[in-house]
Amino acid sequence: MTDLIAKDAFDRLPEQYRKRAREIAARVRDIDAVLKPCEPAKIGEAVVRMFRQFRDQPGVDHADMAAEYRTACFDLPEWAVSEAANDFLAGRVENHTGQFMPTCAEFARRARHILTPILAERSALRVEAGKLVERAEDDRRRHLIELERHDPNVRDRVAALAESAAAGGLKRGALTHTGLSAEKQSRLDALKRPRSFESKITTTRIGKGEARNAR
């Protein structure tokens, strides 16, 4: 438990979050148990199974091959090694022709691919455990806010603040319109009158030439 949540943090959690923390810890223990590395002999058994069905890789020494398999798979659980061998024997591995023995790297890669879902689950559980304290604190804050909202004194104080803010704001119609003097109004009206359009073409050189030709 302490590797997921510190003891002092766990003690401060509400019971519902303590329960979830215990569930996470139990599941992580189960996952760690099934990820226990296998014995070297089990790796050898998987290699022998494949060796009986596939051809030898050209120029490979059997003793060296066995040693490299043990090195590549030393941290893998027995069931993942067995499943990887089953996948190669059943032709479920892409890019493998099904003729030659897989290399130790190919075999270990397949076994680790099989572990991907369970490793992802363990990682997600650890992340969730790390956020339990934060979630509990958020719930506590929301609870306090909800209590304040239902407190009559708080409601009265909020209403008083709203009324005070409204009273201090600008009221509609408070500003009076002084209007314009007659002189200013007439000047504005003059600007609004449409001006007559006078063409300037007749004053240009081309326009004057056309006028002479017309005569």
Q: Could you read off the pLDDT of 112-144 as tens digits, one per residue?
A: 999 999 999 999 999 999 899 888 888 888 888
Asked if residue 60 has pLDDT above 90, the reply is: no
Mean pLDDT across the stretch 39-61? 92
Tell me what pLDDT residue 161 has.
Answer: 79
Maximum mean pLDDT: which of 28-32, 160-164, 180-184, 186-190: 28-32
The model's confidence at residue 5, banded by pLDDT at 50, 70 and 90, is: confident
Q: What is the mean pLDDT of the chain?
A: 84
pTM of the model: 0.63
Tens-digit pLDDT profile for residues 167-197: 765 454 444 445 677 787 777 777 776 666 6
Is 103 inside a domain boundary? yes
How many domains does the chain divide into? 1
Split at pLDDT 50, 70, 90, the class of 11 is: confident
Q: Which residues contact 17 (CB under 8 A, 6 or more apart)?
A: 132, 135, 136
pLDDT confidence of 210, banded at 50, 70, 90? low
Enclosing domain of residue 70? 7-132
* Residue 5 neighbours by CB under 8 Å, 6+ apart: 13, 21, 129, 130, 132, 133
- In the structure, what pLDDT confidence band is assigned to residue 2 with cuts at 50, 70 and 90? low
Cβ partners under 8 Å of residue 89, min gap 6: 49, 50, 53
Supply the pLDDT for residue 177: 44
Instruction: Answer yes or no: is 48 within a domain.
Output: yes
Q: How far apart are CA 93 and CA 115, in angstroms?
A: 15
Euclidean distance between the first and final Cα of the chain, in Å?
Answer: 113
How many CB atoms neighbour CB 96 within 10 A?
16
Q: Is residue 191 part of a domain?
A: no
Residue 149's pLDDT is 78
Q: Which of 53-57, 85-89, 170-174, 178-182 has the lowest mean pLDDT?
A: 170-174
Report the pLDDT value the prediction gives residue 75, as an integer from 0 to 100: 96
- pLDDT of res. 109: 96
Question: Could you tell me if residue 107 is inside a domain?
Answer: yes
